[in-house]
């Protein structure tokens, strides 16, 4: 049994009655084994808790993947949500709130239900309970849970768990990025020509939006990009940039809970995450370019036509 499979099994055992109590402590020595952040780090306990909660949430999602689901819609007929999205978000937030009562929370489903999306200076958890809900609904196995953490409006760490293949992506500001226990490194591709690029469609499907989306894709192909892929999960696509499996990613219509954890992981793997205008990333702007190099990111920024999705902090 692999390292993370063992941790997943322990997490599953600890999750019986999940959502009603805070995370139980690891046995002696297990926290040292994790070795994600150095001893004495002020957010060490937070990151360890995030990893354990991602494992627990992943078990719930993996089990529910093959079961019948009650599906409803949010902003459009293709913007889906299930009872499992709500269950997993409640599981994560209730456990975190019990353990860290002074912290703030931004969650995809609570925001959709009307909670304000505000990133303050307080320690703030930014949570996507199921990234790839459409995949999840159709039993397509590319689904993840994403947990980001910010303090003073600066991203500190990110945890993304691929629920079906067991890959745990982690990144901590100043301490590197990892998939399970293997260090991650981005590619060094500098131009669109020969680049392997990922993107996502976004929930808008009106003719004007589709024309812009397809036009942006056409420009990448005209510049001889090796390929463009849509996998249905923004967070896992971004993890592919961090791992060097792809060279760049761009999207209009994603949200801060899609970006928060992945941004730390990509930056710690040596990559860049910027706004589609070519300027600094604005976490609330619903748009992003991520790449292994700034040269490639800026080349993509020069090609893109803007698709307006508003801002997370204006909803």
Cβ atoms of residues 185 and 237 within 8 Å: no
Structure confidence at residue 129 as a pLDDT band (50, 70, 90): very high
pLDDT at 75: 84
Catalytic residues: 108, 128, 130-131, 133, 258
Clarify whether residues 16 and 97 are in a common domain: yes
Q: Is the dihedral of CA 39, 11, 176, 1 positive or negative?
A: positive
> Among the three residues 183, 211, 240, which one is the final residue of a domain in this structure?
183
Q: How many C-beta atoms surround the C-beta of residue 207 within 10 A?
A: 7
Q: Is residue 34 part of a domain?
A: yes
CATH classification at residue 300: 3.40.190.80
* Residue 182 marked in a binding site: no
Q: Is residue 189 part of a domain?
A: no
- Token pair of 40 as six digits: 């004495």
pLDDT digits 0-9 by tens, 289-298:
999 999 999 9
Cβ atoms of residues 117 and 106 within 8 Å: yes
pLDDT above 90: residue 16: no
Residue 94, classified by CB atoms within 10 Å of its CB into exposed (0-12), middle (13-18) or buried (19+), is middle
- Give the position of tokens 């990893």: 51
* Residue 275 marked in a binding site: no
Determine which of 27-41, 44-58, 95-109, 160-174 has the lowest per-residue pLDDT on average.
27-41
pLDDT at 26: 37
Number of structural domains, the chain?
A: 2
Clarify whether residues 211 and 261 are in a common domain: yes
pTM over 0.85: yes
C-alpha distances in Å from residue 124, one per residue of 72, 119, 314: 28, 7, 18
Clarify whether residues 170 and 240 are in a common domain: no
The β-bridge relationship of strands 168-172 and 154-162 is: antiparallel
The closest of 145, 148, 142, 147 to 164, measured between CA atoms, is 142
Clarify whether residues 93 and 131 are in a common domain: yes
Cβ atoms of residues 211 and 306 within 8 Å: no
Structural Rg of the chain based on CA atoms: 18
Residue 140, classified by CB atoms within 10 Å of its CB into exposed (0-12), middle (13-18) or buried (19+), is middle
Clarify whether residues 32 and 156 are in a common domain: yes
C-alpha distances in Å from residue 219, one per residue of 49, 154, 189, 285: 43, 33, 18, 23
pLDDT at 143: 98
pLDDT at 315: 64
> Among the three residues 153, 183, 213, which one is the final residue of a domain in this structure?
183
Structural domain of 286: 196-314
* Residue 108 marked in a binding site: yes
pLDDT at 22: 34
* Residue 90 marked in a binding site: no
Using CA atoms, how far apart are residues 28 and 36, in angstroms rounded to an integer?
16
pLDDT at 9: 57
pLDDT digits 0-9 by tens, 25-53:
333 333 333 334 345 678 999 999 999 99
pLDDT above 80: residue 87: yes
Clarify whether residues 204 and 152 are in a common domain: no
Clarify whether residues 227 and 109 are in a common domain: no
Clarify whether residues 43 and 104 are in a common domain: yes
pLDDT digits 0-9 by tens, 178-217:
999 999 999 999 999 999 999 999 999 999 999 999 999 9
* Residue 308 marked in a binding site: no
pLDDT above 80: residue 228: yes
- Token pair of 73 as six digits: 């819609």
Using CA atoms, how far apart are residues 84 and 70, in angstroms rounded to an integer?
9
Q: Which of helix, strand or coil describes residue 129? A: strand
Structure confidence at residue 8 as a pLDDT band (50, 70, 90): low
pLDDT digits 0-9 by tens, 233-274:
999 999 999 999 999 999 999 999 999 999 999 999 999 999
The closest of 226, 231, 241, 169 to 199, measured between CA atoms, is 231
pLDDT digits 0-9 by tens, 63-85:
999 999 889 898 888 888 999 99
Clarify whether residues 204 and 166 are in a common domain: no
Q: Is residue 191 part of a domain?
A: no
> Among the three residues 160, 183, 206, which one is the final residue of a domain in this structure?
183
Clarify whether residues 176 and 259 are in a common domain: no
Using CA atoms, how far apart are residues 234 and 119, in angstroms rounded to an integer?
21
Cβ atoms of residues 163 and 144 within 8 Å: yes
Determine which of 17-26, 85-94, 204-213 has the lowest per-residue pLDDT on average.
17-26
Residue 198, classified by CB atoms within 10 Å of its CB into exposed (0-12), middle (13-18) or buried (19+), is buried
Q: How many C-beta atoms surround the C-beta of residue 209 within 10 A?
A: 18
Clarify whether residues 203 and 97 are in a common domain: no
Q: Is residue 188 part of a domain?
A: no
pLDDT at 114: 77
Clarify whether residues 92 and 48 are in a common domain: yes
Using CA atoms, how far apart are residues 83 and 89, in angstroms rounded to an integer?
10
């Amino acid at each position: 049994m692999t390292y993370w499979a063992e941790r997943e099994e322990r997490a599953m055992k600890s999750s019986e009655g999940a959502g009603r109590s805070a995370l139980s402590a690891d046995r002696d020595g297990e926290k040292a084994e994790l070795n994600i952040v150095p001893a004495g780090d002020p957010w060490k306990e937070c990151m360890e808790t995030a990893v354990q909660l991602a494992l627990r949430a992943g078990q719930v999602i993996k089990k529910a993947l093959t079961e019948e689901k009650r599906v409803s819609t949010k902003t459009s007929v293709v913007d889906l949500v299930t009872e499992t999205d709500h269950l997993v978000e409640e599981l994560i937030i209730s456990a975190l709130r019990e353990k860290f009562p002074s912290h703030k929370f931004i969650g995809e489903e609570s925001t959709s239900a009307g909670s304000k999306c505000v990133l303050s200076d307080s320690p703030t958890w930014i949570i996507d309970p199921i990234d790839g809900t459409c995949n999840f609904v159709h039993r397509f196995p590319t689904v993840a849970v994403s947990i980001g953490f910010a303090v003073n409006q600066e991203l500190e760490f990110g945890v993304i768990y691929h629920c079906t293949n067991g890959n745990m992506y982690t990144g901590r500001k100043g301490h590197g990025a990892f998939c399970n226990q293997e260090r991650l490194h981005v590619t060094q591709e500098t131009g669109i020509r020969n680049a392997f690029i990922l993107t996502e469609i976004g929930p808008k499907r009106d003719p004007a939006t589709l024309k812009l989306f397809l036009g942006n894709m056409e420009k990448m192909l005209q510049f001889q990009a090796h390929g463009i892929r849509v996998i249905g999960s923004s967070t896992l696509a971004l993890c592919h940039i961090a791992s060097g499996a792809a060279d760049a990613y761009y999207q209009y219509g994603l949200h801060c809970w899609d970006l928060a954890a992945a941004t730390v992981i990509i930056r710690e793997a040596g990559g860049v995450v910027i706004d589609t205008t070519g300027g600094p990333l604005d976490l609330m702007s619903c748009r992003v370019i991520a790449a292994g190099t700034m040269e490639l990111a800026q080349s993509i920024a020069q090609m893109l036509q803007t698709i307006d999705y508003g801002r997370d902090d204006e909803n």
